[in-house]
Each structure stands twice: as C-alpha cells, then as structure tokens.
A and B are shown apart, each in its own frame.
Chain A
C-alpha cells in the first residue's frame, strides 16, 4: 500500500514552500504511483484528498521559483481532478495572485483538452459520498457550469476560444457522454454508481440557457445509443429523472424542442411525465396552455410522445380536454392573442390525430359539448382568422366524433394556413417509411394504364373526326345556296338605358332580367357622365341601390353596385351622405347593408379628397411638359393653358432647365362635405335599437364604424372641419377605450393615428390638451397590457408620434 508514502510526500510538499520544487516533484510521483496502485481517483481516502487539495493550494500560492515549470502543471493535470479545478479557479479569483491568470488559463485549457472534466464527473459519480458534502458538490457543480463566466471575467478580452460558451458546453456534453459510457460499462460489470451529479450538471447547464450547445452534442449520441440498448435507455431515463425539480422545465423543454421525432423523445424521456410531477406540469400545462411560442414540430413531438405509451395516453386525453376547455371558453377567445388561439387549435388537431376510435367514444359527449360551445364563440369573433380557426377545429372534431353521420362543413377559403392546419389531422408517417422502390412504381403505373384505355374504349372521345373527303361523296355542295349579308351578326349587347330615370325604372319595376343586368353594369358610367341629371334623383337612386338585391347571378354584382353607390355619393355628396348616414342608424337594415353604407362613405370620401386635375389616372414620375397639349374640358384648365401660352410666346428662354413636374392640384372637394360624412356617424352609436345594438352584440359593425371614422379622419386632412372632427373623435375613442373586442380596439388606435396626422399640431395642443393627455396615458396602458400584439404596436407608434409632434413644436420658432 502506497498510502503512507503518499501521505508523507504530500505533507512535505504542502508544508515546505522553500523546498517546494523538489517536494512537488516527489509528491507528483507519489500521487501518480498511488493512483496507479489504487486504480482510480475514487480509491483515495478522504484524508488523502484533503492533503492533495492542500498541496495544490500551496503550489498555487508558491512563488514562481518554487514551482518548477512543467512539473506544477502536471500536478494539476494528473492529480485528482476535483480539487485541481477548485484550486485553479480559486487561484483565478484571488485578488493578489501569485499565479498569473494567463498561466491558470493555460492549465485549465489543458485540463479540458485532456479530458479531465469527464474524469472529474466520473470521480464524483463513483463515490458520491466520498466526493464531499452536498455543499462541496454544489460548489463543484457551480464551478463546472460557470467556468466560462469565471474565466472570461478574469481574462476579459484575452479569453481563449475553448472557454467560449459555444465551445465549452459541447465539450462538457462530450465529457458527459464519456461518463455515461463509463457508467454503462460499470453497470454491466455489476458495479453500482450514481448518475445524479451528471443530472445536476445537465440541469444547471440547461437552466443557464445552454440547451442548444449541450443537447446538440448529447441528444444525437443518446438517440443512437438508446436505439436498441435497454441499459442505455434506463441510464437515459435516470439521467432525466434525477434532474432537480427547479431545473426540470429547462431540461424537458430542451429535449422536446430538439428531438427529431416523438419516438426519440419517448426513448430518451421514458415515462418521466408520469413519474415526475414537475415534468408533468411542464408538458401538460405550461407548454400547451401557458406558452404559445413553440413551433408546430414541438407540439407534434410533445403530443406524439404522450400518445406513444399506454400510461401516458391517459394524459393525452386529459390534455385534450383541457385544451378544448380553453378553446371553447368565450373569455379566452375574446382576450387571448390570435397567435395563442392558433397554437391551441393546432394542439387540438394534433391530439385528435392521435386519438383512437375507442378513446373518442369514451369522451364523445364532452367533445361534442365543447365543440358546440367553442364554435359559437369563435364564429362570434370579429377577426376572420379566429372565425376560420373555429370552423376548422369544429369540422375536425365533428369528423372525428361522427364517423358515420353527417359532419359539420363550413365554407372558407383554402389557403396555405388552412392546409397546414388540416395536414396536422393526418399523423405524420414515422421516419422509417421507406420510399417505394422504383420497380414497384412502374408496376403500379402499368396496372393503371389498361384502366385508362378501357375507359377510353367505352365512351367515344369527343375529338372531332376530320371529315373524310373520300367518304364524303357530296359532289353537290352548299354552293348553290348564296349566303346573305351577315356582317350585322355581332355579339349581342343588351341595350342599356341611356337616362338615369330609365335606370331607376329598370332597377325597380322591370321584370326583364337582361335589362336589369345591363342597367346595373351601365349605371356607374351613366351617373358620372350626367351629374346634373343624377342630382335631381340622387337620394332616390341611393335608396334604390342600398336596397338592391342580386336578382340574377352576375359577376361582380357587389362591386358594381358599390361603384354605382360611390358615383352617386360623389356626384351629390351632401344629400346622399345625409341619407346614408341616417339610414346607418335606422331600423330594419341588415348588418351587411350597414357595412355597405360605411364602405361607400369611405370610398366616396377617398375619391373626393384626391386631387383629380388629370382625370382619374394619377401619374407619377417622369418629367412632363409643363403645358398640357390635350384640350381639357375643364374651363379652368383652358384658362391655364391660354396664360401659359401667352407667357411662352412673350418669353425668350436662353436655357431650358430641367422641366419641373407639375403636381396634380385641384380643389379638395371633400373640404366642404367632410362634416356631413363624419358627424352623423359619430352621433348615435350609443343608442341601441331593437334590431341593432352597436355596443352589444353587433360589435363587428362597431369595429367597422370605428375603422371608417379613422379613414374619414385621415382623409379630412387640410379641411376646415378637421379640428372639430378631431375633438369629437377623441371623445368617441375615450368612451370606447376599454372595449373587449380586438377589432374595435385596433380601430380606435387607428383613429388616434389618423387624428394625429390630420389635425394640425397647434390645434391639437390648444383645443384638446386635456383629452390628449388622457389619451396618452391610455396608450401607455395599452402598450403595456393589451393582449394583442398589433394593438400594442399601434399604441406604441401613436406614442412615438405624439413625442415627435411635441418635439417638432418645441423646435419650431413660436
């Protein structure tokens, strides 16, 4: 037994710094010998360890002379790894170090590269009791996980790359794999050892946010190793189970996010969710119901993992029930962000894809109840996205529970998002699906071919058989029949009415559908061509158009009608706007009609407010000659041309500079009528009618109204009424600011934006200071608390906008 010699050598080396050089060499030799004899660091006794620690510490404190170069480094590298690491890091942390940090870093670097880290872990695993008290283990754990931070803090800029987290943690991962390998070997050899320290390391690394680095190394290896080896599977399960609760979430999430498939997850985690309460909470509650940032693949991994084992399937059903509860809760639909609702919908669809028939039978009633509840509150929502989500999920549930009855079917547009959601219902095939061999494919194709030709034989193709001249022995052709003039044979166009009054008649009284169609198609241009005639009957025409329903199936009816309505409104704005706005708040209109009114008002306002000196086309770019050669019908343009020409004729130009682009200009026609569009709309929103309750369940129309007001406000820029409109709008927004509907709130925020844009800053600050301040504090609240991302963004923009206005006013000379 070399122990007494070792003890003596260490004692001497630790005690006598003056002879430390030689003593260190002796001690190193003794340690080497002892370790070789004992067969591993773990074989050393507690006393010897303590002595070795003291020896290393004295080495670290010793002056340079007392440390023979080459030897002292070996002492750290070949001795016991745990004390070595501790002493090295202590030396690094020492305020007046005798060892230069650079030297320490070099040794540490070697320490890592020579695989001492795995030796360290292995040492702790072998004899957890001997490796020291829990506090000591805790300290060691801390040093291992925080090593990059320690080192980089000390060395500041001169940190060697091996200590960068992106390099260090993969290295640590490799060390863990080596240790696990040793553990597996020793288990096979019948020896017991503890894995808990490794679990602690893993947990702590993960909670420090280094899942990517460490699991990037660990997971692929574990995947391979656990494929067919049950001991490795057990080791793996144990590794995860021993992670302390406080770090469990990070570890489980790390695995779930990185596993390439549910089967891998199942191999690596085992029945962790059943055994560990914390893991169960993370998997069944936190990831699914409280978070929503994970990708679809994560959801598929997680739910697939739950579905893969009979013990876990009970959890799957429970999860589905909880998801459905959230999905069908009207408060959740109203208040949670659309992204989260989409996430939950995805999770539900994936759950459904995993459930078996018998399982569905067992909870059929509950599924049905929550489906009915959920579809109702989804369809109530004003966001088309939410409505569609509701439809898709409800369709899927109903298809699952009614395998042989009628199923729910909604109409919505198919797009990529819908297809993605629907694809979730079909379980992804397991990875091992071998692509069918080319031979097989060919066989299939061959088999399919005869079928095609058979069907061809059966029904004769309609391909024209060319008239065969030989067979067609018609010597006398049609030539003896002389054709008449057929030049008049053109495509029929139904004669559209040419007078506005005829249109009214055709639209109201006529039973002739062709005429009716021709009228609706011609109406817009007719109105635009005959403004005078239109003014005579404008309100009547507006009334007819508002009540007009699609009698025949003509393409783009809604648009045609809308364009005609806009034309009427722009031709005679004041009376028609008065009529339309009064109808918006009157009885016996459908929501559709009310929204039509809003659309028409917006479009007409837009048209009126755009300058249209060049007709309808808005030209842009490209220098144009200053003089319009086209004779304008407008008298004002004629006047302009004459003046221009006179100037031209009397001016001699010595050089022509770049000709300037003439900006489109004209009177803002919206100026005089903005108020007629705006004020009647804003007045009556809080007076419910029997059939129309804006503040109640017709919040969708309210949302549209609010958006309409925002647009009108925006278009009213540079008009006289803008300040009054702004004030009224601010009051309106204030009254509705806590509305529960997302769409309404977004509209309110756009109202504020367009108000800030349209109303001159001076008027804003003079006339509505109080209101603005209130609004500002409300915006601040929205930025912080609103569940919807868009609302928060809009509010933030508004706040910035206010700030800018303020700055502008301050810098502007008053």
Chain B
C-alpha cells in the first residue's frame, strides 16, 4: 500500500489576496535566512522569512495591480518583479532598502511572465511580451538596451505569447528562447537572427506554462486542456513531441522542473499540485491542500538537497510549503 500523500510542511497565510508568483532565495550561507518572495493580486510582493514563517517586508511597487512574476537577480538583494501595471521593476533590497531602482514599461496587456537569464556577472537577458500582440522583445539588463524583437512571420497566426523561457545549452553559448503561444504551439527562437528555428503544435488551447531542461534538451508544457505535452529538441534543433500525459482534471497554470532535474511539479486548476518523475513522467504524488486554483509552483535552491522545498501559491490566498522527495 502506497503511503498517503504528505501534508504541507507549513502554510504561509497573510497575503490577503490570491498568490500569483513565488520565488525562493535560499542559496546563501549562514547566517543568511532562507527567503521566499511572493507576488499577489493586490500588488504586494511579500518577503517571507522561512525560519520564522513571517513576512519580513511587503513591497508595494505596482500600484496595487497584480504582481505575476518575481525573480532575483544574482542574490536576494536585487529583485525583478512584473505587474499588471505593465511595468517590470528592478528593486534594490540590500541593507533593508525597499527601493525601485529602475523599471521597464512593457506596454503589454497580457499576463505572460518575463524570463530572465544570466549571461555574465552582472549582465542579464530578459525576454518579455512586447506591445504588439504577437511580439516578444529581449532586453539586456541592467542597461535596458533592446537585443532583438521576435516577430512571427506574417500569417503565422500564433496569437499572443503566453509563456517564455530563455536558456542556453551551456554557459557562454548562444542564448535561445522557447515561447508558448495562444494557439497552442511552442516556438524555438534564435535570438541573434531573430528567426524561429522550429515550431511544434503541442496543444489545442493556449500554452499556459512551459519549462525546459537544457541538459536533456527536453521540455514540458501545459495548457487549459487535460494534457501535459513533453517534447524534445534534437540536434537539428527541431522540436518533436516526445510524449503526452493525460491528466485527471483540465487546466495547468504553472509547471516547474526541480533544479536537479529529478521531478516536475504542476499547478492545477483543480486545486491540486502534481508531482512527476522528470525522466519518464511517472506520476508520483497529488498534493491536495488548496481550496482554489493553484497559480504557481516553485522549488527552492537550497544548497543542501535535504532542505529543498516546494512552494505553491493559490487563489485561496495561501502559500503551501512542502518537503517532498528530498532524499534523492
């Protein structure tokens, strides 16, 4: 008899709004406290102290408009956040400051999260949905210079970009972008040429989320359907469907592969978090705690694998923290 699924290790309450995005910062040495950033619908970014399980700071920088993406840039003192006020803010949190140092006006009305990639020490590339409906723009941070604009061919009818993932094969090599679109297809873009390399129709419905494993060159995407699609990139840089996995309930709002590439977590519209083994997509666990749609899942970046956590944020205003498959 299989074990019953675990309960959350603890639950963070007090955002007083639906949680849309989560980001851990736990890589620091002692005495640094592991931190979880959460962005919620009321426009606040909460900084959670994972020792005390209390909010350290609440950052208010998006004019009370929903925050749907939070990322750290390097260490936990530099933060990037994206909100429905159409702005991406860069924060300086060092020494207790809570200041927005810079911001980018995206002019995009969608809710496509931006994607950040470190290309060198203190230099990042950021991909974001641009003002024109179908376009994706890539900027260099912190200089905010535009690297390229990725525009689908006329008549491609991809629709809006829904989710983005910047990646590179190994550090120093050419960065590439994977983008999921409204028509259900995933496109691989070459940034230097600004041209699509490959396109794959993964879903019938808009791609809600995707994640990519650059080691195995294999990715996973979810949509509002009952299907997860796993696809791979071959040497000719063509995307191919590798496998599809049928879900019990329709709707996936977020997918994350754990940094050690062992497991994948999905956030479901059915209020459940699902855990799969990444190699074969073997279903491992269904975590049923939330009482409303789960919006986001995130894995921590603890140095010690045994301390690694999984966090899920939901429409029910709660953030559940789980410790699962830490022994491997």
Contact = CB atoms under 8 A, between A and B. Distances in A.
Interface of A: 459-465, 467, 474, 476-478, 480-486, 488-492
Interface string B191-211: 000000011111000000000
B242 A459 contact: no
Contacts of A485: 1-5
Interface residues of B, number: 38
6 contacts: A460-B239, A481-B277, A482-B3, A483-B282, A488-B288, A489-B286
A464 B270 CA distance: 26
A474 B261 CA distance: 13
Closest 5 CB pairs of A and B: A478-B277, A485-B2, A484-B285, A478-B282, A489-B286
B211 to A, nearest CB: 17
Contacts of B278: 478
Q: Which of A462, A467, A482, A490 has the most CB of B within 10 A?
A: A462
Contacts of B200: 460, 462
Nearest to A460: B200
Interface in B1-31: 1-6
B270 A465 contact: no
Contact of B2 (A478, A484, A491): A484
B279 interface: yes
A596 B11 CA distance: 49
Contacts of A484: 2-6, 284-286
Contacts of B201: 459-462
Interface of B: 1-6, 198-202, 238-244, 248-249, 262-263, 270-272, 277-286, 288, 325, 328
Contacts of B272: 489
B5 A478 contact: no
A486 B202 contact: no
Contact of B279 (A459, A465, A474): A474
Contacts of B239: 460
Nearest to B238: A460
B248 A489 contact: yes
Given A489-B286, A491-B249, A492-B271, A460 B279 contact: no
Contacts of A474: 279-280
B198 A467 contact: no
Contacts of B271: 492
A486 B286 contact: yes
Given A461-B201, A467-B242, A477-B280, 4 more contacts: A477-B279, A478-B282, A481-B284, A483-B2
Contacts of B286: 484, 486, 488-489
Contact of B243 (A460, A462, A464): A464
Nearest to B268: A492
A587 B202 CA distance: 54
A113 B199 CA distance: 84
Nearest to B277: A478
B5 A481 contact: no
Q: Which of A464, A465, A483, A490 has the most CB of B within 10 A?
A: A483
Nearest to A512: B292
A458 to B, nearest CB: 9
Given A459-B199, A491-B249, A481 B282 contact: yes
A492 B263 CA distance: 24
Contacts of B199: 459-460
B279 A478 contact: yes
A288 B312 CA distance: 74
Given A488-B288, A491-B249, A465 B277 contact: no
Contacts of A462: 200-202, 241
Contacts of B277: 477-478, 481
Contacts of B270: 491-492
Nearest to B262: A481
Contacts of A464: 241-244
B106 to A, nearest CB: 29
B130 to A, nearest CB: 23
A492 B270 CA distance: 6
A276 to B, nearest CB: 60
Contacts of B248: 489-491
A461 B238 CA distance: 11
A463 B241 contact: yes
Contact of B198 (A460, A477, A478, A483): A460
B200 to A, nearest CB: 6
A488 B286 CA distance: 8
Contacts of A460: 198-201, 238-240
Contacts of B243: 464, 467
Contacts of B241: 462-465
Contacts of B249: 491-492
Contacts of A492: 249, 270-271
A481 B202 contact: no
A534 B198 CA distance: 61
Nearest to B1: A485
Contacts of B202: 462
A66 to B, nearest CB: 102
B299 to A, nearest CB: 15
Nearest to A462: B201
A467 B129 CA distance: 33
